[in-house]
Structure 1
Amino acid sequence: MKRIRIVLTAIFLCFVLSSGAFASDVTEQTELSRFQIFAKSWVVKLNRSHIKGIQRMEIRPNEDGTYLARYHAIDPTSVQCIVKKTSSKRKGLIGLLKYIETVYESTGSSPKTARKSDFKAVKRTRITEIFSNSGKGWR
Structure 2
Amino acid sequence: MGLWMKSNYLCIAALAIILAGLFFNLPCYAESQTAVEKKFNTFAGNWIFRIETAYLHTRENPKIEFSNGQYQASFHQVAPDTIQTDVKPAAGSSSIFTGVLQYNEYLFQSKGATRDQAMAGPFEPASLKKMTEIFLYENGSWMP
**Bin for the TM-score computed over the shorter chain:** 0.7 to 0.9
Q: Residues 48-67 of structure 1: matches in 2 within 5 Å?
A: 48-54=53-59, 56-63=61-68, 65-67=69-71
Report what 1:97 is aligned to: 101
Report what 1:125 is aligned to: 129
Report what 2:139 is aligned to: 135
Write the distance in 2 (CA, Å) between the matches of 1:56 and 1:85.
41
Residue 36 of structure 1: which of 30, 37, 41 is its match? 41
The normalised TM-score by structure 2 is: 0.70
CA RMSD of aligned residues (A): 2.1
Task: Quote how far apart the aligned CAs of 1:44 are.
Answer: 1.6
Contact 1:40 1:76 (C-alpha < 8 Å) held by counterparts: no
Write the distance in 2 (CA, Å) between the matches of 1:82 and 1:94.
8
Q: Residues 63-74 of structure 1: matches in 2 within 5 Å?
A: 63=68, 65-74=69-78
Write the distance in 1 (CA, Å) between the matches of 2:127 and 2:51.
18
Task: Quote how far apart the aligned CAs of 1:117 are.
Answer: 1.5
Write the distance in 1 (CA, Å) between the matches of 2:126 and 2:118.
15
Which one-letter code corresponds to 1:41 in the other structure? N
Report what 2:8 is aligned to: none
Task: Quote how far apart the aligned CAs of 1:57 are.
Answer: 2.2
Moved more, 92-101 or 26-35: 26-35
The normalised TM-score by structure 1 is: 0.73
Q: Residues 69-88 of structure 1: matches in 2 within 5 Å?
A: 69-87=73-91
Greater Rg over alpha carbons, structure: 2
Task: Quote how far apart the aligned CAs of 1:87 are.
Answer: 3.0
Task: Quote how far apart the aligned CAs of 1:53 are.
Answer: 3.7
Unaligned runs of 5+ in 1: 1-23
1:112/1:82 CA distance change after superposition, 3 Å: same
Write the distance in 1 (CA, Å) between the matches of 2:60 and 2:141.
30
Task: Quote how far apart the aligned CAs of 1:29 are.
Answer: 1.4
Write the distance in 2 (CA, Å) between the matches of 1:136 and 1:91.
8
Task: Quote how far apart the aligned CAs of 1:133 are.
Answer: 1.1
Write the distance in 1 (CA, Å) between the matches of 2:115 and 2:139.
49
Report what 1:13 is aligned to: none
Task: Quote how far apart the aligned CAs of 1:136 are.
Answer: 3.8
Q: Between Structure 1 and Structure 2, how many residues are aligned?
A: 114
Which one-letter code corresponds to 1:101 in the other structure? E
Per-residue displacement from partner, 1:4-45 (whole Å, max 9, x unpaired)? Answer: xxxxxxxxxxxxxxxxxxxx8x81111111111111121122
